[in-house]
């Protein structure tokens, strides 16, 4: 390359073999002013040569390219990055815009959730007396999946939880000669809190995820659209049987979890605290009131409805194929457990504060 009268003459072909040498020569003329680049001697150019020309134009404030052959000009237009449209810079949103978007998104989500909640409760009550739009035996099959299949894991975890609660409390009560009060602890904690809460969390992870993934799969595979085309309400056909099954199964599962948890505490009381079975059982029935039992079983219904509603909501919002199904399933489980704990805290504030 040589420079004369602010014109840079390139006297060899511009291919990937010549470019390294040209880059070294470029350092010698870096301080000169170039207004034009003469390509009359260039017969062959490839993508590396085009990139080198782009570098020259950027370095010397876009000098004009002169004496290009038609082939060189066509190749330059095809491979030059300078002819590409510049990407639009995203506008940085301020704090208030972000807050507004968050509030608007929350409002839209809340509105959809209320509509879904109303549909589910309406068709659930209608479905008690009108079985149209339901598959025959759907409630029984869902009860088997939600309730019977969950007996093993709920029973095992309830028993272990009862053992742990009784063992941890026994070590402290024993120091003060208050061994019998382990029955009070087990009865109150399992009936009012641990039984419903443990059962609901297990169902949220087990059945809630199944509900969300099933509905989400039907959404992305357009099965829900097919139901609508056949004049079948998807909520009535898919969600209501799960709602009924969860409502029927949750109190039975809570009662079972509570009894098995107390049984775990009884074993610790017998083996570690030398308390007789009769004394432990009598103490349990003396401590537990009808209010405690009603609150424990009553709030389990709200937990069950929360699981079905949240799982259905996220299932209906799925998009994007298999990846979308996985995302909404994860979100549904997290949201279900979150709202179960929030509802449990509110219940405690209302009835025991």
**pLDDT value at residue 259:** 92
- Give residue-wise pLDDT tens across range 254-264: 999 999 999 99
**CA-to-CA distance for 267 and 144, rounded, in angstroms?**
30
Q: Is the pLDDT of residue 59 over 70?
A: yes
Q: How confident is the model at residue 30 (pLDDT cuts 50, 70, 90)?
A: low
Tokens 């992305």 sit at which residue? Answer: 220
Q: Looking at the chain, how many residues does it have?
A: 353
Q: How confident is the model at residue 349 (pLDDT cuts 50, 70, 90)?
A: confident
Q: Is the pLDDT of residue 166 over 70?
A: yes
Q: Domain spans of the chain?
A: 2-79, 110-352
Q: Which residues contact 273 (CB under 8 A, 6 or more apart)?
A: 170, 173, 174, 179, 182
- Give residue-wise pLDDT tens across range 84-113: 666 666 667 777 878 888 888 888 888 888
Structure tokens at 86: 């510049």
Higher pLDDT, 215 or 71: 215
Phi (first) and psi of residue 61, to 5 degrees: 60, 50
User: Which ranges in the chain belong to alpha helices (H)?
Assistant: 19-28, 47-59, 70-79, 95-129, 138-146, 151-173, 181-189, 195-203, 209-220, 223-229, 234, 240-272, 277-287, 290-316, 322-352
Q: Is the pLDDT of residue 182 over 90?
A: no
How much is the mean pLDDT over the chain?
Answer: 84
**CA-to-CA distance for 195 and 315, rounded, in angstroms?**
28
Query: DSSP secondary-structure letter at 88?
Result: P
Q: What percent of the chain has pLDDT over 90?
A: 20
Closest C-alpha among 249, 253, 280 to residue 264? 280
**pLDDT value at residue 68:** 78
**Taking a C-beta distance cutoff of 8 angstroms, is the pair 225, 154 a contact?**
no
Q: What percent of the chain has pLDDT over 70?
A: 95
For the segment 282-287, the average pLDDT, to the nearest whole number, is 88
2-79 is a CATH 3.30.750.24 domain:
yes
């Amino acid at each position: 390359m040589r420079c004369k009268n602010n014109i840079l003459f390139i006297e060899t072909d511009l291919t990937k073999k010549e470019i390294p040498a040209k880059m070294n020569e470029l350092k010698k003329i870096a301080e000169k002013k170039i207004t034009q680049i003469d390509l009359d001697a260039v017969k062959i150019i490839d993508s590396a040569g085009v990139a080198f020309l782009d570098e020259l134009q950027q370095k010397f404030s876009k000098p004009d390219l002169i004496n290009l052959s038609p082939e060189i000009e066509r190749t330059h237009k095809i491979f030059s990055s300078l002819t590409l449209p510049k990407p639009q810079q995203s506008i940085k949103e301020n704090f208030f815009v972000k807050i507004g978007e968050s509030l608007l998104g929350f409002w839209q989500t809340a509105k959809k959730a209320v509509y879904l909640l109303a549909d589910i409760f309406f068709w659930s009550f209608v479905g008690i007396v009108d079985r149209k739009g339901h598959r025959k035996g759907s409630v029984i099959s869902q009860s088997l999946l939600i309730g019977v299949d969950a007996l093993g894991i709920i029973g095992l975890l309830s028993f272990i939880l009862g053992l742990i609660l009784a063992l941890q409390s026994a070590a402290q009560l024993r120091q003060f000669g208050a061994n019998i009060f382990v029955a009070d602890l087990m009865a109150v904690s399992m009936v009012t809190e641990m039984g419903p809460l443990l059962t609901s969390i297990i169902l949220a992870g087990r059945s809630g995820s199944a509900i969300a993934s099933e509905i989400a799969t039907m959404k992305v595979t357009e099965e829900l659209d097919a139901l609508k085309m056949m004049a079948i309400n998807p909520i009535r056909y898919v969600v209501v049987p799960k709602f009924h099954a969860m409502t029927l199964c949750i109190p039975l599962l809570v009662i079972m979890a509570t009894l098995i948890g107390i049984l775990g505490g009884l074993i610790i009381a017998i083996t570690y605290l030398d308390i007789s079975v009769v004394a432990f059982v009598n103490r349990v029935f003396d401590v537990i009131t009808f209010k405690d039992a009603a609150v424990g079983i009553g709030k389990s219904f709200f937990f069950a409805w929360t699981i079905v509603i949240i799982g259905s909501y996220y299932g209906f919002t799925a998009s994007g194929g298999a990846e979308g199904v996985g995302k909404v399933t994860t979100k549904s489980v997290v949201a279900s457990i979150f709202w179960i704990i929030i509802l449990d805290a509110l219940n405690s504030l209302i009835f025991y504060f």
